Structure 1
Amino acid sequence: MGKKTGNRVLAETFAAYGVDHFFNVPMIIPPGIKEMTAIGVKSVVAHSEKAAAYMADGYARESGRVGVCASQAIGATNLASGLVDALMAKSPILALTGGGTADTRERNFYQEIDQRPIYAGLTKFSARVEKAQRLPDLLQQALRVATTGSPGPVHLELSGFWGAVLMEEVEHVMPPEPRYGFCPPIRPAASAEDIRTAATALRKAERPIIVAGSGIRASRAQAALLKFARFARIPVATSLDAKAAIPESDTLCTGVVGDYSRDTANIAVSEADFVLFVGSSTGSMTTRGWSVPVPGVPAVQIDIDPRELGRNYPLIVGLIGDPAAVLEQLGVELAGPVGSPQWIDRIAALREEWGKLAAQYENSDTSPIRPERLCSMLSESLPEGALVAVDTGHAAGWAARHLYLNRSGQALIRAAGSLGWSFPASLGAKCANPMRPVVCFTGDGAFYYHLAEMETAVRYGINTVTVVNNNHGFNQERVLWGEDAALEKNWKFGRVDFAAVAETLGMKAYRVERASDFRGAFKDALAAGRPALIDVYTDPSAVVPIPWEKPKELG
């Protein structure tokens, strides 16, 4: 085999592993980008390193493939800040940065810092490539780590301000391992003894419930979860990230549980006498600060990462393995439904109560538009196969409660806490699957973070539809400041016309101030053939209700 430059090896490795987009901010490995372009890996240049990381994250969550983002040495810290969400959401990302060299370290070279401590806490693996000959093994190691076990971000620092080390030639190139370009590359099963223990406990339960988390999406285990739940007749509550794992219309669906939640889910989980956690990290957001359910409820947990088993809840047994594989094992061992018919009746009653409670605002035609009404109209308008990227804060709260995903193939990805994530992530998701309808649902506070990426969407023809819940402020925080005019600038924004801004940048744009105008605008936006934005003026007084939690007993 003849010698190749490190840039060529990088490009060929990406192609072999199914990576077809490279999200970056200049300048980073220009010769490498030329090599990528020559073999069909598309470079997407963003306006900020953080946005590039979010694009790679959206790409990875939508496709299951590794999302790649990159920046020169100066932008390394900006890029790192974009990896927090990916780490929390179990998203396989490879971050590449330029870095120092033996000749520049400890000499006050321009904006050079030690990147290792920064990336150590944000990635599963971080290493320096100081010679091009080390690229093949370190790159393949990084890709294996990103996609195996609990997926997550990895990092390679390429020596040289913009990664010039890859201009060196490489003599020996390792054969690719394409299976590690996609999650999950393998599906390990749990031990048979543990499966029997879990099944025995489940058979004793009268009111069992499943709490499903982001591990379902990371494992691509949605179909396995739905099959198991229907077979065993166990109701399902999910985190927001796993919301689309079970259709909202399914009689076993209780909704999203925790802080961003629907009352039905929190009540059902609190009343359950057995909880099966599946791919859930049992963190504070999904459990309402570890109060839904209360620790001590009989529980079994399925997770591919043994560190998560029993972290926050005592377990009858922890099942280590891939969620899809373990659910199949558990279904075989159960051999039939569990729980009582009265429990299913109780879930039906909770679903009915929610429908009556939600109808007041979901059917409202008041102006400004209620966010509940906006979510209801969006639910009705989303086509089959649509993917919705949801931001955090009020966007997440409204989506958890009032967005209904019932049509075939619909899915949802969400910010794990990084305000502004959803718009760049939606662009990355669209790059991963250009034929899929991709919709961003965000608030105006979040949209301000990365609205410059509208130009990126237009430049590359990334035809998403962005729906902005525009209440002209951080109204989630309005309660902190009261109605004091001297303090209102802490939450209240000026009345910026996002539709006009979007049109200036080349997008198709609509401003909606009446509920009756939304469906037509959304239909046109989907068919626009270019990036589109719908700026929806909503009621600034509307606040997501405090999540339901079990009343504390008087002592």
Structure 2
Amino acid sequence: MARHGGRILADQLALHGVKRVFSVPGESFLAALDGLYDAGIPNIVCRHEGGAAMMAEAYGKMTGQPGVLFVTRGPGATNAASGLHVARQDSTPMVAFVGQIARGHRDREAFQEVDYRRFFGPLVKWVAEVDQTDRLPEYIARAFAVATSGRPGPVVLALPEDMLSAVADAPDAPPVSALPPEASEAQLHAVLEALDRAERPLVVVGGPHWSARSAAELAGFAEAFDLPVAVSFRRQGYMDNRHGHYVGDLGVGMNPKLGQRLAQADLVLALGTRLGDTATNGYTLLDPAGPGPRIVHVHADADELGRVWRPDPGIALPAPAMVAALARLPGRPGPWGEWRTQARAEYEAWTTPRETPGAVKMEQVIAWLSAHLPEDAILTNGAGNYAAFLHRYFRYRGPGTQLAPTSGSMGYGFPAAVSASLEHPGRPVICLAGDGCFQMTLNEMSTAVQHGANVVVIVANNGRYGTIRMHQEKTYPGRVSGTDLANPDYPALARAYGGDGIVVADQADFPAAMEQALAAERPFVIELRLDGEALATGLTLSEARAMGGGG
């Protein structure tokens, strides 16, 4: 049956099980919008391509299936780059369709013309431009396969508008199927042999592919072998933080004692993580070029093995498949019981709140959330010192409860929360954001109201870009430049969009405000008026200034 390219595209998305797409519309892909209309695929219309891209990325992170994005050519595509960068660094499957100028106008610097292969090439797993309407099914099937294979990531397909509106009789291409991966006997033996030789092992978990089932199997493996388990930056949801074998996260603002244990370990069992600079404190705890512990590296992408570290051995396998096999084995705890017990005790001490100045205290806010939110609550955040409180003091329950960018992107938390609420309308979704972080994407409040995303936003308002100010005060004490903010009345702004909100200026008022927010049936903003003296969980403004001179 002859169909225009937009309908062919939409039918392919339906075959791949796409539940919704995220977009900012553009005239360059009108045929695709028409195809989505016929196919009945919901289109979440956003206010900025960066926010739309982050919503699509959050969908991929939650489901393991590619989040789908539509943006127009030129400015639309370049605006979306921030979300594609998150998807790349976070190993999140994503497929972005970008409008393109007509084929006959190329190479003349036509209106909004961009060479997408060159622009997106270093940023995504694969980028292509579809020149023939009848090849759309082929390209789309490949895009979904590439986005989910090995180390998942983003794919970009550019769609010339005349190609997309043209008619072709093209058969649909079914999704690529693959057998589920399983650990071999040789791979299992390699891990067990390394454990048999260890005295101070540390399991470090991260990367993609984790689920509630793999989290339960990870806990079972840790119990059976009495192993301490750390997670990489913003992967705290991979294991219930209340479990006695969980010992904390290796990332920005990590527990220094956990960092020391990474440096002192004689075996690092790296499961899914790339074990990058954030997890190793800028490669100071582990040095790829120097001596260090034995590293057994399990990663789905063979190209990651040996790229930074010299694994002994490297095992090309999704980490949850290895964990599933290990969890089926009889327990064999080694001589490291005290090592694990001490690591857990250090985690417990580290997560005991340290009081900060001011009438509203972030450590108490996070402690209340950790103690009172339902087990299935989803917490999202972007970047900023406020997030250090969340990472340190909140006890994550398991996969699907944390949406945060390992790339450290500001503005991520709110679009991610909108996406999470649309995917899980019955679960509480709470976005933690700094005043600077929230202002980067708060225009998506309109998207949330339009599409019925019921989210709670807790804004940490200290009137500054707190992280940058912290580094500024440490390096150039008292010389403030470019880090102060003039902020709106956030609850009033929420009401202008059709939501609601409240200001909390005293800690005693927070529990009632949170109960009101959770009961609301529309987006709700809680603005926390914070003391500007409190920069981070363990550092005040005066302490940062006292450090001075290149800290």
TM-score normalised to the size of structure 2? 0.90
**In the TM superposition, what is the alpha-carbon distance from 1:268 to its structure 2 partner?**
3.2
SS where residue 278 of structure 2 aligns? helix
Counterpart mapping for 1:95-494 below 5 A: 95-160=96-161, 164-177=162-175, 186-215=179-208, 217=210, 221-293=214-286, 296-332=292-328, 335-355=331-351, 358-361=352-355, 367-406=358-397, 411-415=401-405, 416-482=407-473, 488=480, 490-494=482-486
Match of 1:91 in 2: 92
Contact 2:233-2:252 at 8 Å conserved across structures: no
Structure 1, 59-68 or 372-381: larger mean CA deviation: 372-381
Change (3 A) 1:173 1:433: farther
Q: Which position in structure 2 is the counterpart of 1:13?
A: 12
Paired residues of 1:422 and 1:440 also in contact (CA < 8 A): yes
Deviation for aligned residue 1:84: 0.4
- The equivalent of 1:553 in structure 2 is none
Q: In 1, distance between residues paired with 2:17 and 2:188?
A: 35
Residues paired across the two proteins, number: 532
Q: Which residue identity does 1:464 align to in structure 2? A: V
Give the whole-Å Cα distance in 2 for the aligned partners of 1:186 and 1:542.
Answer: 51
Amino acid at match of 1:172: A
> What's the CA shift string for 1:137-163, capped at 9, x where partnerless?
001100110111111000110012xxx
Q: For residue 535 of structure 2, give the secondary structure of its aligned residue in structure 1.
A: coil
Kindly state the Cα deviation for residue 220 of structure 1 after the two structures are TM-superposed.
7.5
Shift of 1:398: 2.0
SS at match of 2:128: strand
Using the alignment, how far apart are the partners of 2:396 and 2:212 within structure 1?
20
Query: Alpha carbons of 1:459 and 1:43: their partners in 2 closer, same or farther (altered >3 Å)?
Result: same
Q: What TM-score do you get using the length of structure 1 for normalisation?
A: 0.89
Q: Is the 8 A contact 2:226 2:333 kept in 1?
A: yes
SS at match of 1:205: coil
Distance apart, 1:256 and its partner CA:
0.9
**1:278 touches 1:303 (CA, 8 Å); kept in 2?**
yes
Query: Aligned letter for 1:169?
Result: V
Shift of 1:37: 3.3
Render the CA deviation track for 1:212-237: whole Å, top value 9, x for unaligned.
11235489733332232222221111
SS, match of residue 83 in structure 1: helix
Contact 1:50 1:82 in 2 (8 A): yes
User: Following TM superposition, by how much is the alpha carbon of 1:546 offset from its aligned partner in structure 2, in angstroms?
Assistant: 7.3
Give the letter aligned to residue 292 of structure 1. L
Q: Are the structure 2 counterparts of residues 333 and 482 from structure 1 closer, same or farther at C-alpha, using a change threshold of 3 Å?
A: closer
Cα 1:99–1:207 shift into 2, 3 Å: same
Residue in 1 aligned with 2:490?
498
User: SS of the residue aligned with 2:235?
Assistant: helix
Q: Distance in 2 between matches of 1:216 and 1:42?
A: 26
Deviation at 1:265, TM superposition (A): 2.9
Q: 1:260 to 1:194 in 2, by over 3 A?
A: same
What SS is found at the alignment partner of 2:460?
Answer: strand
1:182 aligns to what? none
Cα displacement string for residues 452-476 of structure 1 (whole angstroms, at most 9, x for unaligned residues): 1111111111111111111111122
State the SS of the aligned residue for 2:353. helix
CA distance in 1 between counterparts of 2:44 and 2:154 reads 19
Q: Give unpaired runs (5+ residues) of structure 2.
A: 540-551
Alpha-carbon deviation of 1:331?
A: 4.1
Shift, 1:59, TM fit: 1.2
- Per the TM alignment, residue 383 of structure 1 is displaced from its structure 2 partner at its CA by 1.3
How far off its partner does 1:11 sit? 1.6
Instruction: Rate the CA distance shift 1:496–1:280 in 2: closer, same or farther, 3 A.
Output: same
Q: How much does 1:165 deviate?
A: 2.1
- Counterpart amino acid of residue 89 in structure 1: D
Read off the aligned partner of 1:438 and give its amino acid letter.
V
3-state secondary structure, aligned to 2:10: helix
CA distance in 1, matches of 2:411, 2:481: 20
Distance in 1 between the 2:295 and 2:47 partners?
Answer: 46
Q: Which secondary structure does the structure 2 equivalent of 1:157 belong to?
A: strand
Gaps of 5+ in 1: 180-184, 548-555
CA distance in 1: counterparts of 2:114 and 2:286, whole angstroms: 45
Q: Distance in 2 between matches of 1:134 and 1:398?
A: 50
Post-superposition offset of 1:207: 2.1
Which sits farther off after the overlay, 340-349 or 252-261? 340-349
Q: 1:219 to 1:78 in 2, by over 3 A?
A: farther
